[in-house]
Amino acid sequence: MSKSPLARIAGTGLFTPSQSISNEELVEAYNAWVDKWNAANPDEEPKQHSSAEFIEKASGIKARFVLNKDGILDTDRMRPSLPQRTNDELSIMAEMGVTAARDAMKAADLQPADIDAVICAASNMQRAYPAMAVEIQNALGIDGYGFDMNVACASAAFGIQNAVGLIATGARRVLMVNPEICSAHLNFRDRDAHFIFGDVSTAVIVERAEGEPGPDSWEIIDTRLKTVFSNNIRNNFGFLNHTSDELDISAPDTDKLFKQEGRKVFKDVVPMVAELISGHLADNEIDPTTLKRMWLHQANLSMNQFIARKVLGRDASEEEAPVVLDTYANTSSSGSMIAFHRHREGIDIGEIGVISGFGAGYSAGSVIVRRAA
């Protein structure tokens, strides 16, 4: 634990859409769609209604922020309506990232000239190229370079490790953004999953740990990543769809949108993440009982309670393992970063916490941080 950290978090930012959908609103629309579908398909096995009580009990989610509510709740559409912008306009994913990035730069009192690189780390990119990170870099007026990376819900933890790597190779500061438009890859006709996701963007600035730390700085003590292949969370949308004749994203059971075996994911990922964090702490000679906070990926409340219990050896309080999924739902890579952004008060200088994202791949990352100022 004595090695001196190469990098620190200098500030974080958040963009939250202005529109939100409650479980009740979502279920009302889903059930109306089911009634229509069942009436139109009398020879098929009838689809079952969804339930707001089930959603909250099974996941802890009460509502989700989205970029466009009307399109999702329109039973003839069941997907957000996000009109295409011209190539001369800032694209929507870049706009979210830029808003969160400006928030982070303001918090850290930094200017574009202070930053050397931009990483856009998210579950889905709006297009193949140019990279979202390069568009965000341009919109902010940052010199240097940018690139995109995707490791699903673990993207932010992987992004932080990569930012530290860029610092090791000479960058002074790296802006890492996570714009997640999860409502665009969610199948709102799938009862098992229609409630899972929300839209948001987070941003974090990672800087070389030299000189006086800013007023809200967090040393990155160490990072650790892990991936294990699994088909239990999968989305087959991609550029090769164009070469086959099977693309129908309006089908209720399409595999060109998010699909998961939720129970299996839960069972596989809880031990994987608990082991990753526990081993990571042990190798850094950190006693888990001294951990002040765990900013975990926000997919499922009981999943987080299990992971925190395994790491700490006892139940974690809500202060120790903050929850944002009740109002944000699962925001993929942004979840752990929203928790870190909003719930890092009450930790003294020198005290330690862990940021951890996990999800499809499977993929998981652990970032041990210590309050520096």
CA gap 367, 107 in Å, rounded: 21
Contact between 54 and ligand COA per CB under 6 A: yes
Contact between 361 and ligand COA per CB under 6 A: no
CB of 302 to ligand COA, least distance (A): 8
Nearest-CB residue to ligand COA? Answer: 262
* Binding range to ligand COA, per CB under 6 A, among 112-120, 223-231, 241-249, 298-306: 298-306
* Binding range to ligand COA, per CB under 6 A, among 51-59, 140-148, 168-176, 282-290: 51-59
Contact between 367 and ligand COA per CB under 6 A: no
Look at residues 155, 184, 161, 188 and name the one whose alpha carbon lies nearest to residue 174.
161
Contact between 311 and ligand COA per CB under 6 A: no
Choice from 6, 58, 149, 347 touching ligand COA (CB under 6 A): 58
Contact between 305 and ligand COA per CB under 6 A: no
| N-term to C-term CA, the chain | 18
**Bridge partners, residue 148, by sequence:** 120
Please confirm, yes or no, whether 153 is among the known catalytic residues: yes
Say if residue 162 is exposed, middle or buried (CB neighbours under 10 Å; 0-12, 13-18, 19+): buried
How does DSSP classify residue 309?
Answer: H
State the Rg of the chain over Cα: 20
Contact between 209 and ligand COA per CB under 6 A: no
Residue count of the chain: 373
Choice from 299, 308, 311, 354 touching ligand COA (CB under 6 A): 299
Contact between 255 and ligand COA per CB under 6 A: no
Nearer to ligand COA, 153 or 368 (CB): 153
CB of 362 to ligand COA, least distance (A): 9
Considering only residues 319 through 348, tell me which ones interact with ligand COA, judged by CB under 6 A: 330
Q: What are the start-end ranges of the E strands in 106-262?
A: 117-121, 145-149, 173-181, 199-208, 218-227, 233-234, 259-260
Contact between 121 and ligand COA per CB under 6 A: no
* Residue 192 half-sphere exposure toward CB, CA atoms < 13 A: 10
Question: Percentages helix, strand, coil for the chain, rounded to the nearest 5?
Answer: 35, 25, 40
Task: Please tell me which residue in 153, 177, 270, 307 is annotated as part of the active site.
Answer: 153
Nearer to ligand COA, 8 or 185 (CB): 185
CB of 123 to ligand COA, least distance (A): 8
Side chain identity, residue 46? P
3-state secondary structure of 365: strand
What string of DSSP letters covers 322-340? ---HHHH-B-TTHHHHHHH
Contact between 263 and ligand COA per CB under 6 A: yes
CA gap 278, 287 in Å, rounded: 9
Contact between 125 and ligand COA per CB under 6 A: no
* Binding range to ligand COA, per CB under 6 A, among 88-96, 102-110, 170-178, 261-269: 261-269
Tracing tokens 């996000």 back to the chain, one arrives at 82
Look at residues 157, 207, 191, 174 and name the one whose alpha carbon lies nearest to residue 358.
157
Choice from 59, 124, 137, 187 touching ligand COA (CB under 6 A): 59
Q: Give the DSSP H or E segment for 294.
A: strand 291-296
CB of 154 to ligand COA, least distance (A): 9
Contact between 191 and ligand COA per CB under 6 A: yes
Contact between 359 and ligand COA per CB under 6 A: yes
CA gap 55, 64 in Å, rounded: 12
CB of 88 to ligand COA, least distance (A): 34
* Binding range to ligand COA, per CB under 6 A, among 87-95, 126-134, 136-144, 263-271: 263-271
Phi, psi of 276 (to 5 degrees): -60, -50
Contact 217, 10 (CB under 8 A): yes
CB of 272 to ligand COA, least distance (A): 11
Residues in contact with ligand COA by the rule CB under 6 A: 50-51, 54-55, 58-59, 153, 191-192, 233, 260, 262-263, 265-266, 299-300, 303, 330, 359-360
The residues carrying an active-site annotation are 153
